[in-house]
């Protein structure tokens, strides 16, 4: 097989492996796997909930996967569902739900006015629930921005500014949410406070490395171990204390000095009747990718589902592993498939367009130029990478040369954070549209046979 044909086959296989990963974390299927109904018995994980005991059953659905999760619960509950609130991103509502639902589409990754409306609608329904009521909370990634209700004294524009500054600084999701939880009424266990003393069962589609319940969608139903001190340290670490709006700094200072109560902590009575079940995660997607790679004849290796750090730095590690496999058949023999998952970050210094997956692939392409039979692909499982219409990108050892023939300088595009224009010119953007799921990013490295 010629080098050109071999690289075409590798590209096709890389996309097929990513498709298998997406299929494994379909939100509706995940709900159906973990929630069953036997008459009036609702079986969730290893627990039983007798629907006859509850006066009302409510559903609160929040996140990029809110619609498919909410629809699956609507079908499952049938007439037993009393009311629901669904908050999701613009363009992620596949079809209308019935008249029992309040539906809000809102902004992401920076919240907008509808984010406030969505948060208030979730809190209002939660607050109506009493000790004889059951709340099913369908939670997925993106919820931190999609539902935002600033604490007293802060405005939406204050939270927008903080979010934008932290994103551009390359803050991790843990750092970003440590700040947001201390500026918002429903984050960091705030929604659980509204729901108390109802019984709450939260079904979680995890988009956070390590599946930390207090971080996924900023943990609206989870105890918050972070503190005002943590939030202050994050802003200080990135040199943002003097750049955030003054009301934000004053609010955090008040918290530091005990003039404002902390977010609800582990052991608080409001969590006594709150249960969490993770129904899909990055690890599940990565496992499906490995299985598909093995089916296609590759030797699979899971690198990590805890991949974090600056995207271009992670890319250099991926490229180094590719070269090692090509040269020595280590740590896995050719034909090889290395899979990773997680969430890298990008420190934005240029004025271009792109996302963390596109930047990772561009940096890997630069490091792998001239190395045949190597393909790298990475994508956001939600179908959206940064403020673009692409999920990610794909490249091989010839991508930089092909770009050069088109008059493109790969390094200049990387410095400008402009991976989108680079891969659009090559026709190597991965476009899926909104996938309806969200479990972080999945990356694939393929090294062809000798």
**27-149+184-226+263-280: which CATH topology?**
Rossmann fold (3.40.50)
Cα of first residue to Cα of last residue in the chain, in angstroms, is: 11
Backbone φ, ψ for residue 301 (5° rounding): -145, 125
Q: Where are the alpha helices (DSSP H) in 81-240?
A: 113-128, 143-146, 156-169, 173-180, 190-195, 228-237
Strand order of the sheet with strand 134-140? 101-106, 83-89, 57-62, 134-140, 199-205, 274-280
Residue 46: pLDDT band with limits 50, 70, 90:
confident
Q: Is 124 helix (H, G, I), strand (E, B) or coil?
A: helix
278 within 8 A of 211, measured Cβ to Cβ: yes
47 within 8 A of 275, measured Cβ to Cβ: yes
Backbone φ/ψ region at 334: left (φ over 0), alpha (ψ -120 to 50), beta? beta
Tokens 């037993």, located at residue? 80
Helix axes 156-169, 113-128, angle to 10 degrees: 110
Instruction: Provide the β-strand partners of residue 60.
Output: 85, 137
Tokens linked to 227 = 């503190």
For the question of whether the overall pTM of this predicted structure is more than 0.95, the answer is no
Over residues 144-166, the pLDDT tens digits come to 999 999 999 999 999 999 999 99
| DSSP for residue 232 | H
Distance, C-alpha 115 to centroid of its chain: 17
Q: Which H helix or E strand runs over 34?
A: helix 27-34
Q: Is 444 helix (H, G, I), strand (E, B) or coil?
A: strand
Residues 6+ apart with CB under 8 A from 187: 144, 177, 180, 181, 218, 219, 220, 224, 263
Q: Where are the alpha helices (DSSP H) in 218-300?
A: 228-237, 246-256, 282-295
Over residues 267-313, the pLDDT tens digits come to 999 999 999 999 999 999 999 999 999 999 999 999 999 999 999 99
Beta pairing class for 57-62 and 429-430: unpaired
Average pLDDT for 374-385: 96
What value does the CA radius of gyration of the chain take, rounded to a whole number of Å? 23
Outline which parts of the chain fall under CATH 3.40.50.10180: 27-149+184-226+263-280
Residue 173: pLDDT band with limits 50, 70, 90:
confident
Cα separation, 339 vs 224, in Å, equals: 32
Tokens linked to 171 = 């803050």
Cα separation, 10 vs 447, in Å, equals: 8
Over residues 187-198, the pLDDT tens digits come to 999 999 999 999
Over residues 199-239, the pLDDT tens digits come to 999 999 998 888 999 999 999 999 999 999 999 999 999 99
Outline which parts of the chain fall under CATH 3.40.1480.10: 3-22+283-447
Residues 6+ apart with CB under 8 A from 306: 209, 210, 342
Q: Is 328 helix (H, G, I), strand (E, B) or coil?
A: helix
**What percentage of the chain reaches a pLDDT higher than 70?**
98
Per-residue pLDDT, 1: 39
Tokens linked to 443 = 């990356």
Which of 211, 383, 290 is closest to 21 using CA atoms? 290
CATH architecture of the domain 3-22+283-447 equals 3-Layer(aba) Sandwich (3.40)
393 within 8 A of 431, measured Cβ to Cβ: no
């Amino acid at each position: 097989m010629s080098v050109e044909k071999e690289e075409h086959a590798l590209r096709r296989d890389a996309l097929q492996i990513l498709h298998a990963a997406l299929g494994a974390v379909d939100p509706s299927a995940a709900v159906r796997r973990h929630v069953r109904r036997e008459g009036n018995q609702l079986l969730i994980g290893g627990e039983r909930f007798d629907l006859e005991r509850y006066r009302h059953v409510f559903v609160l659905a929040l996140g990029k996967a809110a619609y498919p999760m909410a629809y699956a619960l609507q079908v499952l509950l049938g007439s037993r569902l009393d009311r629901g609130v669904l908050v999701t991103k613009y363009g992620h509502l596949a079809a209308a739900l019935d008249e029992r639902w309040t539906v809000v589409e809102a902004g992401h990754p920076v919240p907008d006015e509808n984010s406030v409306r969505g948060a208030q609608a979730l809190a209002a329904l939660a607050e109506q629930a009493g000790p004889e009521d059951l709340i099913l909370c369908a939670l997925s990634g993106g919820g931190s921005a999609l539902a935002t209700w600033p604490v007293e004294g802060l405005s939406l524009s204050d939270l927008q500014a903080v979010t934008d500054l932290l994103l551009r600084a390359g803050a991790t999701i843990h750092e970003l949410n440590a700040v947001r939880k201390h500026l918002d009424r429903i984050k960091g266990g705030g929604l659980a406070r509204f729901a108390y003393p109802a019984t709450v069962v939260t079904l979680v589609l995890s988009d956070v490395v390590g599946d930390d319940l207090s971080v996924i969608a900023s943990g609206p139903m989870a105890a918050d171990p972070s503190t005002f001190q943590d939030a202050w340290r994050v802003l200080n670490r990135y040199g943002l204390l003097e750049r955030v709006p003054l009301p934000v700094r004053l609010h955090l200072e008040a918290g530091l000095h005990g003039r404002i109560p902390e977010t609800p902590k582990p052991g608080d009575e409001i969590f006594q009747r709150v249960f969490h079940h993770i129904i899909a995660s990055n690890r599940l997607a990565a496992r499906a990718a490995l299985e598909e790679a093995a089916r296609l004849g590759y030797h699979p290796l899971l690198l990590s589902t805890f991949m974090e750090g600056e995207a271009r730095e992670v890319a250099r590690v991926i490229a180094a592993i590719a070269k090692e496999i090509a040269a020595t058949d280590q740590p896995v023999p050719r034909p090889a498939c290395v899979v990773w998952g997680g969430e890298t970050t990008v420190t934005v210094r240029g004025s271009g367009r792109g996302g963390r997956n596109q930047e990772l692939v561009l940096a890997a392409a630069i490091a792998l130029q001239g190395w045949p039979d190597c393909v790298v692909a990475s994508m956001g499982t939600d179908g959206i990478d940064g403020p673009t219409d692409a999920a990610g990108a794909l490249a091989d050892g010839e991508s930089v040369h092909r770009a050069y023939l088109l008059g493109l300088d790969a390094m200049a595009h990387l410095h400008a954070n402009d991976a989108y224009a680079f891969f659009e010119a090559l026709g190597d953007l991965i476009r899926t549209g909104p996938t309806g799921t969200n479990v972080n990013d999945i990356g694939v490295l393929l090294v062809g046979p000798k």
